Structure 1
């Protein structure tokens, strides 16, 4: 009986912690940008909404994010250590010779900003790769 009680208590706390992470996402803003001489892309995700700007003079287009996609974003976001974001290293260096636009991920949570160093658009650091790919999928739609 004790083992069963302990197991149920563990499951209860585990599910409440994961739902807390998803609840925290409602006040979190995630911004991805890719900039070079010929490219300007900015994707902002916040509270089940996405704003996409393709071009320097373009107006942003806003869309609602469906629940399945939002859950994917929240899951990938929960795997990221926010404190380590500024120290992530880019896997490639094509941006140094105009071989790729400069990508940047910025996360604002609880009035604190976490920003990556520049990396090649399309080649983010492994630790944030899945989240960045989910964000860039919005611009392809």
Structure 2
């Protein structure tokens, strides 16, 4: 009987994790943005498409297809991230306050809710977001 209860509790705890219960499966869109006075950069990713926009001295806009494996890599890179907590993540630097870095943000849109990260310095995101942002930026490097 004790063994049955222990197994039941283990199953409930592992399957009912409120952190991201099926949230990563319901992600519809990632938006990475970096802005400062006079320039902005945006990467808007859905399961099928990536739109990159850069504005400043020159304007650039390009749309490319996202492969299934690329989307799955993005999803797997956030499996341990609490979407509810990304707005309170500790940022490692504050160069954006003095215009030494663009102000960057990450937005995760699911079927039910939109989650926006705290502002951080471009190139120096909160530790929990590093894997996802690195994958997003790696994808953008494949665009001509």
Q: Secondary structure at the match of 1:77?
A: coil
**Residue 42, structure 1, aligned to residue 38, structure 2:** no
**Cα distance per residue 1:74-132 (max 9 Å; x no partner):** 10122211110111121111111111000000111124111111100000000111101
TM-score w.r.t. the length of structure 1 is: 0.76
Instruction: Decide whether aligned partners of structure 1 residues 92 and 22 sit closer, same or farther in structure 2, where only a CA change above 3 A counts.
Output: closer
How many residues align? The count is: 124
Q: Pick closer, same or farther for the CA change 1:38–1:136 going to 2, 3 Å.
A: farther
Between the aligned partners of 2:91 and 2:51, the Cα distance in structure 1 is 25
TM-score by length of 2: 0.74
CA RMSD of aligned residues (A): 2.4
Q: In the aligned structure 1, how far is the partner of 2:23 from the partner of 2:103?
A: 29
Runs of at least 5 residues in structure 1 that lack an aligned partner in the other structure: 1-5, 15-19
Distance 2:39 2:141 in 1: 14
Separation of aligned partners in 1, 2:65 and 2:80: 23
Pair 1:51-2:48 in alignment: no
8 A Cα contact 1:21 1:74, kept in partner? no
Q: Which has the higher helix share?
A: 1
Task: Return 5+ residue gaps in structure 2 as ranges.
Answer: 1-6, 16-21
Cα separation, 1, equivalents of 2:66 and 2:35: 24
- Residues 129/61 of structure 1: CA separation in 2 closer, same or farther (3 Å cut): same
Equivalent pair of 2:34/2:42 in contact (CA under 8 Å)? yes
Q: Which region of structure 1 is more displaced relative to structure 2, 72-81 or 50-59?
A: 50-59
Whether contact under 8 Å (1:52, 1:138) holds in the other structure is: no
**Pairwise CA distance, 1:134:** 1.1
